[in-house]
Structure 1
Amino acid sequence: MFGSDFAAADDAAVVAAIAEGARAEAQAAARRLAAIAELVRRKVCDDDERQRSSFDPWDAVAAEVAAAMTVGHRRASGQMRIAQALRERLPQVAALFEQGGISARIVSTITWRTTLIEDREALALIDTALAQRASRLSPLSERRLDDAVDALVHRFDPLAVRKSKTTARTRDFHFGDEDDAAGTTSVWGRLLATDAAALKRRVAEMMKGLCDDDPRSMGERRADAVGALAAGHDQLACACGSPTCAAAGVQASNVLIHVIADQAAIDDATRITKGEAAATTEGEAAPATECDAVSTAFRDTGGTASPRGDALRPKKRGTAVLLGHGALPTFLLPWLISRGAKVRPIKMPGSKAESRYQPSAALAEFVRMRDMYCRAPGCDVPADLCDLDHTTPWPLGPTHPSNLKCLCRKNHMMKTFCGGPDGWRDIQLPDGTVIWTAPSGHTYTTYPGSKLFFEWDTTTANLPPPPDIPPPAPDREAKMPKRRRTRAAEFAARIKAERARNVDPAPF
């Protein structure tokens, strides 16, 4: 298709194919959301006694949607909200979507910005008006689309307009964006004015201690000062490299991060670091890092290429990955090592199982470095924020790397309380591969995260076939943590609170 289908077509035909593809894409998205809405209808009932469970029927459906779409739990839940709104609240918009008349982007905006409407008559009028104006909505930018939908909402239900988050009651703070450059993470948020002023003053004070030879820009200094605060410091280490600089010797903190790197990356970084050290006066010390980064390395088990092969292909560089954040740029690992980051190898576990339920620190580290993320389908929660799950439940299954994997708390509850012959089942292979079977019978295979970055043989000992697992206890769900109020009640309370803010906005 990419090579020849459009080679003989004129420009008009190519553009027509683009438009037709967009329409077909919208129709396919509408069909997918219709299927999600049907699954929600079948499995989520307001009178279900499990609604107060921490992992409620909505979560159970979200787990199946997440696996089918290969997305995380939160995004799956968002898709369910859109699907439910199209089915139950906006039938005319849904019909237009099914025909490919509007895109998934427009549908997402409409469903979000009409969430606060409670009056069914007003909602029906807005649904009709939006469907009639669909052709005018498509060319709009995101901001103009928001304004157009809000104008209609305001006409029929002024209290339902979603306001920008500009009040003290909606302050928040965020870490990371999908467009972040490698080796950096964006942070943004809204603080109380007093807190922001204190932070600004503290950062400015930390920057005053730097000498004139610090090579960083003002923006880089501010960013590094915030990082130093996060590591528990009240000083910012100068980056001039001079042993006589009063600000060069800031003590390293006990805040721990993990960087996993293959041996080639460690060797490259060490060579660079030694080269930099040789260029300085003997006895000079590099300034301490504000964060004690632990680089865990392993040896590449791949075969050695022939000299001729090495000459014909580009040099293979090592890889280093910050756990939960992806690959690091090549300059950052030497920088960490030169500033005191500890380097230690990941030890392959032995063949024998450990005798207790809780894995040792060494075994837990191996499993987390091998998996790198939650092992449920579509989930990307970093391994250091996950529980360690026995695939075959302990004590029937051993505490052994071939029977341990990382699961975030949400998916750990899914397996614990929704597992069994008619629920979620999982099988783990010695290399860490996990094969999941969903309640619907569909199977999903997930692989250790380290397999995406490294040529690391993560295979550990074969285990004997697991024994027959007894059926779940009848009172299993009674042991699940409970919500303070149901999800539906929480959702209704949030809508009520946001409408109330539109009546009586905060004074600051």
Structure 2
Amino acid sequence: MSPTIGSIERMFGAMFAGLDQPTLIAAIEQSAREEAVAGARKLAAIAQLVHSAVTFDDECDRWAYDSWAEAACELGAVLNMGQMRASAQMRIAVALRDRLPKVAELFLAGRLSARLVAEITWRTCLVDDEQVLAVLDGALAQRALRWGPLSQDRLRCAIDALIERYDPDAVIRAREVINGRDFRIGAHEDPDELVTVWGKVLGCDAVVLAARIAALLKGICADDPRSEGERRSCAVGAIIQGQDHLPCRCGSPDCTASAPPASSNVVISVIADHAAVAAARQLIATEDREQQQKHAQNQAKTEPAPEAEAEPTPEPDAEPAGDPVESAPLPVGEDESPEPGPAAGPEVANPVRCLRDSGVALLPGVKVLPIVALAEAIRAGAAIKSLWLPGPDPEPHYRPSAKLAAFVRARDLFCRYPGCDVPAEHCDIDHVVPYPFGPTHASNLNCTCRTHHLGKTFAEGWQVEQLPDGTVTWTTPAGQHHTTMPGSRLLFPGWDTTTAALPPMAQPPPDPDRVAKMPKRRRTRAAEEAARIKAERECNAVQRALERQRALDQQAAEHNRQAGLPPPAPPPPDYGDDPPPF
């Protein structure tokens, strides 16, 4: 009988109860060592899997789905990770087995952490000389025992300094230095609301962009409530969307710049439930109402107050009236004629609040779009359309229609292979039972990334079954069963994705000519890796030569300055075959 959740919680809480602090510290240290040993044993098993499963065949190695990719897919299903992360685990395991045996020995003894081992195997990937690698392996094993407390940056610096001693061209530089023009969108530390954009463009392009932003900002009036920085950011968004003007938000009905912009020809689908759309619209209405009230108050302050007319003096009453009672408007929601009741008691310090579900909105790539950002998108002209739900009848052709594809991608959100997190918009829409043996229907379609799609289509031993609610069960060539649920269940649990049940379908007979249609590589995976290492080493060598020449030039200039010699004249311009421009 398996333990229940309650018993496990009690076991977890009572496992080290009553122990003193030194004993707890010793238990933590021992557990960390055991964790490292378990990780080393896992990588040793992965290395043996690569050794036995990855073949070297001139024909098969040129397949887009080669034996390495097949092993990575099966490993990813077991470890519940995508095939790229599984492939990285395979590379670490192979490096420990074939390139760094002394480091692997320390790891298997529990003396090195998995973080340290992963960094060492990556930073030494450009070393291509076996003798240098053997010496470097011994030096790393000797010094790595003292590197555990280092931060990530300090650890990389220590490893690179050791590689610099024995093979300077193997220090990874090309991937970490951005030379020339570049333009980046998004950084890993970005919040959900905003995305960082940075890069370098040509000077003439920068001037045009600045002028375009200035022209858009001139079109809004001074009463727009946004700050100068917000206006510039909104102007760049308008340029990206191809809009002709930036709508003003002053709240005045007479403002000519408040008209909505023309729709953009670029379409980005955002998945949002009804609660999220309602919350965004309520936020827009609240902000507009507040801005309109503010505009009305400003107008009332600027307009002169009308002169009061002289009122006739009332005649005195025969009998004096009681003290005058001033009437004031009651707060909104308060009863104008409250019934008499007992005196009010003390206020509750922490009243119970009613929690309201604001819903969820998702950008492509399964990135959460906050309600504030969704409201900004709706302000910018985003169209709200209900997602089409498929009926019982399949479509009569192989390629699904746009509305059927949109439903399948919204339902799945990710690649449906176990552990794979490739977003649905980067996946193929695959027939579980190949067409025409299986229909083009939502109950027979799911999102599969290109690698797992190729494996299912061409590799032997894979079996896939799908239920009407989108549940997919994979059976690997090794006989492992893995079940995945639609990604929409994680973020939209109230959405019923069940579609029509299909009649029993039989898989098509094996096609001996199927393998002939496998996409081919220009060169094998091993040749690609060797070419990459060679190119990076050559780039590093050129960069080191430039750095040495730059240092020599600086020394010569400093020597001439101290000696009082004039700086050398610049070389004459080279006009080639053209005459000088004068």
Bin for the TM-score computed over the shorter chain: 0.7 to 0.9
Letter in 2 for 1:438: T
Aligned to 1:131: 141
* Aligned positions, number: 473
Query: What stretches of structure 1 of length at least 5 have no aligned partner?
Result: 285-310
Distance in 2, matches of 1:219 and 1:368, equals 36
Selected match of 2:72 from 62, 84, 102: 62
Q: Please tell me whether residue 470 in structure 1 is matched to residue 506 in structure 2.
A: no
Distance in 2, matches of 1:376 and 1:476, equals 22
CA offsets, 1:153-174, max 9 Å, x none? Answer: 1211122111264656697665
Distance in 2, matches of 1:24 and 1:259, equals 45
Aligned to 2:475: 437
Give 1:43-54 correspondences, 5 Å limit: 43-54=53-64
CA offsets, 1:348-395, max 9 Å, x none? Answer: 211111111112222111111111122112222222222211101110
Give 1:156-175 correspondences, 5 Å limit: 156-163=166-173, 165=175, 175=185
Letter in 1 for 2:431: H
Distance in 1, matches of 2:136 and 2:529, equals 21
Letter in 1 for 2:92: I
Q: Please tell me whether residue 262 in structure 1 is matched to residue 300 in structure 2.
A: no
Letter in 2 for 1:87: R
Aligned to 1:376: 417
Distance in 2, matches of 1:378 and 1:64, equals 10
Distance in 2, matches of 1:222 and 1:65, equals 48
Q: Is the 8 A contact 1:354 1:398 kept in 2?
A: yes
Aligned to 1:119: 129
Aligned to 1:453: 491
The percentage of counterpart residues that share the same residue type is 51
Aligned to 1:41: 51
Q: Is the 8 A contact 1:436 1:444 kept in 2?
A: yes
Deviates more, 1:76-85 or 1:157-166: 157-166
Give 1:102-251 correspondences, 5 Å limit: 102-163=112-173, 165=175, 175-176=185-186, 179-186=189-196, 191=200, 195=201, 197=203, 200-208=206-214, 209-210=216-217, 213=223, 215-216=225-226, 220=230, 223-232=233-242, 244=255, 246=257, 250-251=261-262
Distance in 2, matches of 1:198 and 1:443, equals 58
CA offsets, 1:400-425, max 9 Å, x none? Answer: 1100111122222221112xxx4221
Selected match of 2:522 from 481, 484, 498: 484
Aligned to 1:306: none
More strand by share: 1
Distance in 2, matches of 1:88 and 1:217, equals 59
Per the TM alignment, residue 225 of structure 1 is displaced from its structure 2 partner at its CA by: 5.0
Selected match of 1:404 from 433, 441, 445: 445
Tell me the secondary structure at the aligned position of residue 321 of structure 1: strand
Distance in 2, matches of 1:93 and 1:380, equals 32
Selected match of 1:273 from 284, 291, 299: 284
Aligned to 1:324: 365
Q: Is the 8 A contact 1:206 1:235 kept in 2?
A: no
**CA shift in 2, pair 1:92/1:322, >3 Å:** same
Letter in 2 for 1:459: T
Per the TM alignment, residue 247 of structure 1 is displaced from its structure 2 partner at its CA by: 8.6
Aligned to 1:390: 431
Distance in 2, matches of 1:264 and 1:356, equals 36
Per the TM alignment, residue 259 of structure 1 is displaced from its structure 2 partner at its CA by: 1.6
Distance in 2, matches of 1:172 and 1:69, equals 36
Letter in 1 for 2:502: L
Q: Is the 8 A contact 1:72 1:378 kept in 2?
A: yes
Deviates more, 1:461-470 or 1:450-459: 461-470
Distance in 2, matches of 1:171 and 1:80, equals 34
Distance in 2, matches of 1:39 and 1:270, equals 55
Aligned to 1:92: 102
Distance in 1, matches of 2:376 and 2:146, equals 53
Letter in 2 for 1:347: W
Deviates more, 1:338-347 or 1:90-99: 338-347
Deviates more, 1:199-208 or 1:399-408: 199-208
Per the TM alignment, residue 223 of structure 1 is displaced from its structure 2 partner at its CA by: 4.9
**CA shift in 2, pair 1:277/1:353, >3 Å:** same
CA offsets, 1:81-128, max 9 Å, x none? Answer: 111111110001011111111111111111111111111111011111
Distance in 2, matches of 1:79 and 1:198, equals 46
Distance in 2, matches of 1:91 and 1:437, equals 35
**CA shift in 2, pair 1:234/1:269, >3 Å:** closer
Selected match of 2:22 from 12, 33, 44: 12
Aligned to 1:348: 389
Deviates more, 1:228-237 or 1:59-68: 228-237
Deviates more, 1:159-168 or 1:26-35: 159-168
Deviates more, 1:409-418 or 1:481-490: 409-418
Aligned to 2:577: none
**CA shift in 2, pair 1:269/1:159, >3 Å:** closer
Tell me the secondary structure at the aligned position of residue 24 of structure 1: helix
Distance in 2, matches of 1:112 and 1:16, equals 32
Per the TM alignment, residue 312 of structure 1 is displaced from its structure 2 partner at its CA by: 8.8
**CA shift in 2, pair 1:167/1:237, >3 Å:** farther
Structure label with greater radius of gyration = 2
Aligned to 1:502: 540
**CA shift in 2, pair 1:37/1:168, >3 Å:** same
Distance in 1, matches of 2:96 and 2:181, equals 30
Deviates more, 1:266-275 or 1:256-265: 266-275
Instruction: Let me know the Cα RMSD of the aligned residues.
Output: 2.9
TM-score (norm 1): 0.84
Letter in 2 for 1:121: Q
**CA shift in 2, pair 1:274/1:239, >3 Å:** closer
Tell me the secondary structure at the aligned position of residue 128 of structure 1: helix
Per the TM alignment, residue 445 of structure 1 is displaced from its structure 2 partner at its CA by: 1.1
Query: What stretches of structure 2 of length at least 5 have no aligned partner?
Result: 1-10, 296-351, 548-582
Per the TM alignment, residue 70 of structure 1 is displaced from its structure 2 partner at its CA by: 1.8
TM-score (norm 2): 0.74
Tell me the secondary structure at the aligned position of residue 159 of structure 1: helix
**CA shift in 2, pair 1:335/1:171, >3 Å:** closer
Distance in 1, matches of 2:495 and 2:355, equals 21
Distance in 2, matches of 1:198 and 1:206, equals 12
**CA shift in 2, pair 1:203/1:218, >3 Å:** farther
Distance in 2, matches of 1:77 and 1:170, equals 31
**CA shift in 2, pair 1:490/1:180, >3 Å:** same
Per the TM alignment, residue 249 of structure 1 is displaced from its structure 2 partner at its CA by: 5.3
